[in-house]
Chain A
Amino acid sequence: MPSLPDMNTPEVADLARREAEANPNHPAAPQPDAGQEAFFEALLRIGDSTLILGHRVSEWCGHSPALEEDIALANVALDLIGQTQLWLGLAAEVEGQGRSADDLAYLRDAWDFRNLLLVERPNGDFGHTLMRQFLFDAWHHELLKALSASLDPRVAEIAAKAGKEVAYHLERSSDLVVRLGDGTAESHRRMQEALDALWPYTGEMFLGDDKDAKVAARGIFPDPASLRAGWDATLRHVLGEATLQIPDSPFAHKGGRQGTHTEHLGYILAEMQFLQRAYPGASW
């Protein structure tokens, strides 16, 4: 190991490059599956988002304001968990390390999760939960539309199936956002507060990085920025009808898609992964 002052010098980088050229097993050598790694990451980004949102939504089970809402929320959570099985299942396959969808869900720590920060936000009141759902659904719907034309047929197939479910999620959350935004003074206030509080967590949905660029170049996943116009149009339409004001702040919290999360994710995982962690190797 070089002494500390030697690290990060051009000489060290050069040394590593020459070493790698001479020895293909050297860690600095270009990996043949570098594209697969970006593909794996892209699948985690969607699969982890559906998993964590499904978890949050399921926290409402039995506690929502009306029986119809208990049923509808359980249905949405169920769809999201079902989609998670497909996305993480494919991620595990692409990774090729013998892990399963359950291994990915239950045996990774927070820094290996790639979900949007938006979905780990606490439920808050029912209006807050619905607003989070609407902001996510509007994006999710655009993403799945794009993914159903993915050049990877496995991705296209999952997206087509999930797209039908999410079209319904969006229809439902839009409808409720309109009714609550344009309901009583109190419901309007709650919905505007929810929108304002969640707004800084929406920008992350459209920020691409080099991994996104790799899968976009291969036609597997869309460039995140390309989803913005459709999302904006849905928001203008629905929030306009809901008489809610779209915040004009462009500030965006980010990091979820790269593994830097809020404090909330650790608690979600502590709860979700409890049995797998407490009884390692048991089959359920």
Chain B
Amino acid sequence: MYAQLVKSEGSKSREEMTPEELAFQERIDRGEKIEPKEWMPEGYRKTLIRQIGQHAHSEIVGQLPEGNWITRAPTLERKAILLAKVQDEAGHGLYLYSAAETLGVSRDELMELLHAGKMKYSSIFNYPTLTWADMGAVGWLVDGAAIMNQVPLQRTSYGPYSRAMIRICKEESFHQRQGYAIMMKMAQGTPAQKRMAQDALNRLWYPALMMFGPSDKDSVHSAQSMAWKIKMNTNDELRQKFVDQTVPQAEYLGLTVPDPNLKWNEEKGGYDFSEPDWSEFYDVLAGNGPCNKDRLGARVKAWEDGAWFREALVVHAEKAAARRAQAAE
């Protein structure tokens, strides 16, 4: 899940709604899609910008931890697969910024908010990728967690967001399978490779659980987003689903989920498991994760170092247009 703690408005009862708001809510309740030029409450628009923007930022910052291993990928094939994957992430960023643009905010504005620390990206990308097994674990766990959230978002009420999600989900599930394939290879490999695989699971398990955001009891602003079908499931529902799906996959790999309290609960038909350390989560969101400074610093540097490049393209386009106009006279 690439959007955590997205601020939304307090929800309104039907009696409190204006006739326009009521008609809008009824369209959503009927399952209609809202399209860019149509009327929407300001709160809906703002919440969507925050959520889609955060998701887009997560995709582009998310290039960095995986990009970290492209030049060290162990075979030509693994290198090609990883390159293709990181390229997909950039592509997802592009769809999502485009979806956000339909709500009246430019990509440049969103980038500036990111760089100024006024918009967030998923906490998971503030963790380092320390061994090659992390390329497997990121695909398996991080993309796996993202899919849990994004599959239901294919049915979200905002048309452009929903359509972006449909494309993204296809690619993400491919990424997850690739990640798992790396894990299989490592888990069946030499003792050193197995150690890498277990170590990656140990480090990334709880950060992956944090991706779904805080527990429902502590999650603010969820009700309105759910009424608007911007958020489709609660954080705890998705986290439970993720654990239930992932534990058997870890067992198949012969790896141990780093949770002594993990236990199948027959009655609820799911696993009982330990909560992540939420103080760590809030520390990471506050900028104190292991890689916050490096990740944001890399994005800011890329943006600033590239200013001359972007400016030159604009100036060239203006010159070319002027020349065409002159030729037409």
Contacts and interface: CB of A to CB of B under 8 A. Distances in A.
A126 B305 contact: yes
Contacts of A127: 309
B80 interface: yes
Contact of B313 (A75, A183, A186, A275): A183
B86 A284 contact: no
B87 to A, nearest CB: 4
Interface in A17-67: 51, 55, 58-59, 61-67
Nearest to A61: B67
Interface in B78-106: 78-80, 83-84, 86-87, 90-91, 93-94, 97
A279 B193 CA distance: 9
Interface string B286-320: 00000000000010011101111111110111010
A174 interface: no
Contacts of B83: 58, 61, 74, 77-78, 81
Q: What class of interface size applies to chain A in its complex with B?
A: 35 or more
Contact of B192 (A64, A85, A279): A279
B305 A125 contact: yes
Contacts of A212: none
A205 interface: no
A5 to B, nearest CB: 49
A64 B308 CA distance: 12
Nearest to A280: B190
A260 B193 CA distance: 35
B72 interface: yes
Interface stretch (A101-109, A133-141, A147-155, A250-258): A101-109
A70 interface: yes
B74 A67 contact: no
A88 B77 CA distance: 13
A78 B87 contact: yes
Contacts of A70: 60, 63, 87, 90
A66 B67 contact: no
B87 A58 contact: no
A81 B79 contact: yes
B177 interface: no
Nearest to B319: A182
Interface string A232-263: 00000000000000000000000000000000
Contacts of B200: none
Contacts of A183: 311-313, 315-316, 319
A115 interface: no
Interface in B263-284: none
A283 interface: yes
B72 A275 contact: yes
A263 to B, nearest CB: 17
Contacts of A229: none
Given A183-B312, A186-B311, 6 more contacts: A58-B70, A62-B298, A106-B74, A126-B305, A180-B309, A284-B74
Can you list the 5 inter-chain pairs with the closest CB atoms, starting with the nearest?
A65-B306, A183-B312, A187-B312, A62-B63, A74-B87
Interface of B: 60, 63-64, 67, 70-80, 83-84, 86-87, 90-91, 93-94, 97, 107, 132, 182, 185, 189-190, 192-193, 298, 301-303, 305-313, 315-317, 319
29 contacts: A58-B70, A58-B71, A61-B70, A62-B302, A63-B298, A64-B302, A65-B302, A65-B303, A65-B306, A65-B310, A66-B309, A67-B60, A67-B97, A68-B94, A69-B306, A69-B309, A74-B90, A77-B83, A81-B79, A85-B76, A101-B76, A126-B305, A180-B312, A184-B308, A187-B315, A275-B74, A281-B190, A282-B193, A284-B75
